[in-house]
Amino acid sequence: MILAEKIRVTFNKGTPLETVALRDVDLTVESGQFLTVIGSNGAGKSTALNVIAGTIRPDAGSIAFDDVDVTSWPTHRRARLVSRVFQDPKTGTCEDLTILENFALAQSRTRPRGLRSAIDKALRERAAERLRVLKLGLEDRLDDKIGLLSGGQRQAVSLLMATSGDTRLLLLDEHTAALDPKTADFVMTLTCDIVAALGLTTVMVTHSMAQALQYGDRTIMFHRGQIVFDVAGATRAAMGVADLLALFRHDQGEELSDDALLLG
Ligand SMILES: Nc1ncnc2c1ncn2[C@@H]1O[C@H](COP(=O)(O)OP(=O)(O)OP(=O)(O)O)[C@@H](O)[C@H]1O
């Protein structure tokens, strides 16, 4: 479970560029819940993920995982429990290393060992077994440089690596936005399968309202650093994009003016 209380993040404090990116945000995500997050450009979505991952330390508020206060834990200390997949497939993998070496690197995130000593028969078998699920033939290309893979293949491998080890919390930062629609569907199906199989608590940021409603079991929207709505259960299941827009208009007294959100 994630319990974030009164989280405030201010960039460039005390300067003319001061921006309050998160305004006393409270957010609880139950264990095993799959939360989708939407919001216009600059609404605070990435900052919220950064606070959970530990990349940004809030200037006020606290954050706990399963009742353990991790507010002061740096990213590397949280890395055993939290992993993240980014929009750019290149971010999650190391281009000059082979597929197998990338798996070894991912494993060392949770079980620190030298890269060479981490590559043993057991890892080779484990990596091949996980890759076989993709049905892309990558289990036969363990010694290929990962830079040779397509964006979609690489994102699928990033997802497998992010969910190896002891990860309990998966953060997805628009991880299908750079893929063509067919590949994006493939990666989303893989995501849902892995999340369900491992029972991961998942937070997925997306620019698409339709995708936010299609996947997961709860949707929140950020706007100007605050959560402006939070829908789940039967209410959410009955909603379409037009209903989300109407909810926004009703609560905020203004129209949403972000084409990417409307059209995505
Ligand atoms: N490192 C930073 N330095 C200064 N300002 C920042 C920084 N990171 C984010 N901001 C500002 O904080 C606010 C929230 O940004 P954030 O990236 O969290 O929004 P977002 O909802 O993820 O937007 P997008 O969909 O465009 O990625 C914005 O006004 C942004 O310009």
For the chain, the three-class secondary structure string (H helix, E strand, C coil) is CEEEEEEEEEECCCCCCCEEEEEEEEEEECCCCEEEEEECCCCCHHHHHHHHHCCCCCCEEEEEECCEECCCCCHHHHCCCEEEECCCCCCCCCCCCEHHHHHHHHHHHHCCCCHHHHCCHHHHHHHHHHHHCCCCCHHHCCCCEHHHCCHHHHHHHHHHHHCCCCCCEEEEECCCCCCCHHHHHHHHHHHHHHHHHHCCEEEEECCCHHHHHHCCCEEEEEECCEEEEEEEHHHHHCCCHHHHHHHHHHHHCCCCCCHHHHHC
Residue whose CA is at the smallest distance from ligand 1 atom 29: 42
Question: For residue 112, is pLDDT > 80?
Answer: no
Question: For residue 219, is pLDDT > 80?
Answer: yes
Question: For residue 58, is pLDDT > 70?
Answer: yes
Question: For residue 28, is pLDDT > 80?
Answer: yes
The set of residues, in sequence order, having a beta carbon less than 8 Å from that of 160 and lying 6+ positions away, is 130, 131, 134, 194
CA 146 – ligand 1 centroid, Å: 30
Question: For residue 247, is pLDDT > 90?
Answer: no
pLDDT per residue as tens digits for the range 194-209: 999 999 999 999 989 9
Residue 19 CB–ligand 1 contact under 6 Å:
yes
Q: Which two tokens mark 129?
A: 């077994």
Question: For residue 257, is pLDDT > 80?
Answer: no
pLDDT > 70 fraction of the chain, expressed in percent and rounded = 93
- Whether 63 contacts 26, CB under 8 Å: no
CA 42 – ligand 1 centroid, Å: 5
pLDDT (mean) for 139-155: 94
Residue whose CA is at the smallest distance from ligand 1 atom 30: 42
Residue 45 CB–ligand 1 contact under 6 Å:
yes
Pocket test for ligand 1, best of 7, 10, 11 (most atoms within 8 A of CB): 11
User: 166-190 b/e with 16+ CB inside 10 Å = b?
Assistant: ebbbbbbbbbbbbbeeebbebbbeb
ipTM of the prediction: 0.97
- Whether 71 contacts 78, CB under 8 Å: no
Q: How confident is the model at residue 115 (pLDDT cuts 50, 70, 90)?
A: low
Residue 38 CB–ligand 1 contact under 6 Å:
no
* pTM of this structure: 0.92
CA 158 – ligand 1 centroid, Å: 24
Q: Provide the CB-side half-sphere exposure for 122 (13 A, CA).
A: 3
CA 196 – ligand 1 centroid, Å: 31
Question: For residue 22, is pLDDT > 80?
Answer: yes
| Residue in 153, 191, 172, 179 with CA at minimum distance from that of residue 264 | 179
Residue 46 CB–ligand 1 contact under 6 Å:
yes
What's the mean per-residue pLDDT of the chain? 91
| Residue in 58, 72, 53, 62 with CA at minimum distance from that of residue 28 | 62
Q: Which atom of ligand 1 is nearest to the CA of 50?
A: 18
| Superfamily in which the 1-76+200-264 domain is placed by CATH | P-loop containing nucleotide triphosphate hydrolases (3.40.50.300)
CA 20 – ligand 1 centroid, Å: 9
Residue 12 CB–ligand 1 contact under 6 Å:
yes
Could you give the angle at the alpha carbon of 204 between the alpha carbons of 198 and 208, nearest 5°? Answer: 135
Pocket test for ligand 1, best of 18, 40, 47 (most atoms within 8 A of CB): 47
Q: What is the pLDDT of residue 98?
A: 95
pLDDT (mean) for 134-148: 95
